[in-house]
Structure formats: C-alpha cells, structure tokens
Chain A
Amino acid sequence: MEALQQELKEKIIKILNLEDISVEDINDNDPLFGAGLGLDSIDALELIVMLDKDYGIKLVDPKEGKAIFESVATMAKYISEKRTK
C-alpha cells in the first residue's frame, strides 16, 4: 500500500503539473480538493482518466468520485481493491 501511495503522489504531481509540490509535501491523508492540494473539477477528470488508463478502473458513478479522491490514502485503497491491471 505504501508503494502505491508513493506511486500515486508521483503521478498526481506529473499529470497535474504541480510544479512547486514534491512527494514529501503530500501527506497520505491530506485532502486533495479544496483546502488541501486545491485541485478542481478539471483535475478530477484527469484523475478519472488516470484510473482507467493506468489501473483499468472505469468510474461509472460520478458520485463515487468524491469519496475515492478524498486523499491519496483513499485513492490507494480503492485502486488496490478494484484494479484490473
């Protein structure tokens, strides 16, 4: 799980082009949206595509997204349970 969390942090920084943020700046339970990293709805779309492309997970219910993308920890938990690749 720890390796997956590290991998997710690296992907989030790269995909969302978070120039001034390093892996060490993102705590596992920090909120990704709003007060935490300050991500927005376009970032959410990028993360949904990333889940599909890299882990074979298709999000069919957009309402699920809020809980899944709450933090790196919640993302990692969801991915480890649902991944197909």
Chain B
Amino acid sequence: MRKCYINGVGCISAQGTFDTVFLEDSIVNDQDNVLTIQDPVYKNYIAPAAIRRMGKGVKAGIVASALAMQEAGVENVDAIITGTGMGCMEDSEKFLKAIIDNNESFLTPTSFIQSTHNTVAAQIALGIKCNGYNFTYVHSAVSFESSLLDAMMQIESGDAATILIGGIDETVEYTMSLFKLAGYIKNESDKPFKVLPATSKGVVYGEGATFFIVADRPQSSSYAQVLAIELLNSLEVHEVEIKLNHFLAANGFQISDIDAVVLGYNGDIEYDVYYQNIAENCLANTTQVYYKHLSGEYNTASAFGLWVAAKIIRTQEIPAIIKVNRVEKESYKTILLYNQYKGKDHSFTLISTCQNTE
C-alpha cells in the first residue's frame, strides 16, 4: 500500500506564516471579530496582468501553492485538489451586486469568471500548465479534509504520485455582516474575544489559504506522513470519544500512542464542549494544541491546523502561544487532529513522522 507524505507546505493566514518558521511572530488579536490575512507581496509570484482580476482568495491560494511547491522542489504536479467552504466570495458579491445595481443588465465577465468555487484550483493549473486531475470540494467544514482524503486515495490507487492540495476561504464585508446578524460571529459587546475559555456564542471569523504537496515518496523536505483520515457528518458530544477510539483502533493505534492532539476550539461556548469533553477525559494526559485564536474560524481553518501539526513534527517544538495544557512529551511523533463546526462535519486526521518502509 502506497503511503502519503507531506513534502511541502505554504500558508497565508492572519499571521505572518509565509515568511516565518513557526508562529514566532504570531500575536493573538482579541479585539477584532473578523481576522483578515496578512498579504505577501503578490507581485513577486503572480504576473501583473493576471493579478488585477484576482480576488484575495485566488491570490493567496496561488502564493500558498507556489510556496508549497517551492519547498517540495516540484514545478508541476499530477493533480490539484482544493477545498473551500464559501468559494470566491469577493467576486461572487461583486457579480451579485452588479446584477442588482444594474437591474440584471450590463453584467461583466470578470467577476463571474472569478466567482466560481473552483477558481483557485483552475488558476493554479493555468499558471503551472497542469493538465491533470483538477477537483474542488465544497463540503462546509470538511472541504479541506475531503481534498486530503481524495489525494490519499489517488496516491493509494497509483493514479497520482505528487498532488497539490489546499484549503482556501476568504472573508468579504457583506457576507460577514450577514454572519453577524445570524449570530455566527461574536458580538462586539463580547470583546475581548477569547477562544479559551469560551465565554460567549459565535466565533471570531477568519480567512486563509493553506497548501500542501503530498506525494507517495518521502524526501529530505518531508514534514510528516498522513496515516489516516475519517469524516463524520453529525455526532453527539458523548459519541466523539467512541468514534475517536474506533478511528484509532482501525489504524492500529490507541490514545496512549498519540503524542499531541490539535483541537479546533473556536471559542463558541455552544460547541466547544465537543473538544472539551475529550480534552478533559480520554486526552487529559496528551499534549493539547489549539490554533483558531490565531487563524480565526472558517470552513477550511483545519488546513491551518494540519499546517500546525506538520510544523510540530518538523520542529519538534510547540510554541507557547498554541499550548492548551502543560503536558509535554520528549518527542512528537504521532499527532491527532480533531475538528468540527457547530456539531457537524467532524474530522479525525492522524499524521506521524515519516516511516520510509513499505
């Protein structure tokens, strides 16, 4: 059975993750309920003629993918698989606003072309001239995990050896205002916005683009090996521990084998109990890590979580800013990730140090 290795990563987020090693310059912003990405110099990566038509998600996705490919030392890939919960909202909003403002007339092509969910994967493919498999999953909070699962199956079946995967979501003003009205985003009166411990309903929203080169062979740049992933649509709080144990057992592991767990705490008092329940029980003696106080919550924030897990394995260090508890291990060889959003779209992902054996 072919294995799946993470050979390169690239991350554009609310933190300076594109030009740092591992969160050394990160700060917690507890004053804003929508966190926006720190922009790299896009012109260093994208031709000026092309950049003028791109929304920020597309630009961030192209740069993050370029960073991952550069780190893995590849110029092209066999497949490009992305995940996005909301798609290219900036151009979607522009196009829809133009329909209303112009009474359904005078519709221009640019924002329509750029508004589709698969724009990022398509633009990357055009940029690197990749004619291979190109797919975008739009599965809410398991959009990125779906792309990872697909990539693992592509590698296992031998259909592709080197794959670019990524998760991209962008925030836009009008959609965020609707999310605030709906109570998805924390009220201004809840400031300062804390993720741990959660004290109010809703989340601090965010955006980002996180890409990985996954391949069937490890190399000197490899971060980790992806061992397994499982997606579950809907669970009750008490079922998470049962499903987690099933997931680990199915892959020959038990809780005591896990060196660290990366949890998707997002500060929503209604739903963080999903994490809290396993953190206080079966994972109480495991090193616990969280990240959404840095990235914000969005449908593909879990890709940022995988970036964190991969960095922990690479550096064998856990920055204080992401530690949940004081449990420490001599080494971090096997890391579990658990994520859910509003009690739906649960995912377990297991990664480890590279085991270069057949």
Contact = CB atoms under 8 A, between A and B. Distances in A.
A67 to B, nearest CB: 22
Nearest to A48: B108
Sorting the interface of chain B by its residue count into under 10, 10 to 19, 20 to 34 or 35 or more gives 10 to 19
B52 A42 contact: no
B1 interface: no
Interface stretch (A1-9, A11-19, A28-36, A69-77): A11-19
A52 B106 contact: yes
A72 B108 CA distance: 20
Interface in B38-75: 48-49, 51-53
B53 A45 contact: no
Nearest to B107: A49
A42 B113 contact: yes
Interface string B235-251: 00000000000000000
Interface of B: 48-49, 51-53, 102, 105-110, 113
12 contacts: A16-B52, A17-B53, A19-B51, A38-B49, A42-B109, A42-B110, A42-B113, A45-B108, A45-B109, A46-B109, A49-B106, A53-B106
Contact of A17 (B52, B105, B107, B113): B52
A43 to B, nearest CB: 9
A20 interface: yes
Nearest to B48: A20
A19 B52 contact: yes
B52 A18 contact: yes
Contacts of B105: 52-53
Interface in A34-68: 38, 40, 42, 45-46, 49, 52-53
Contacts of A15: 108
A53 B102 contact: yes
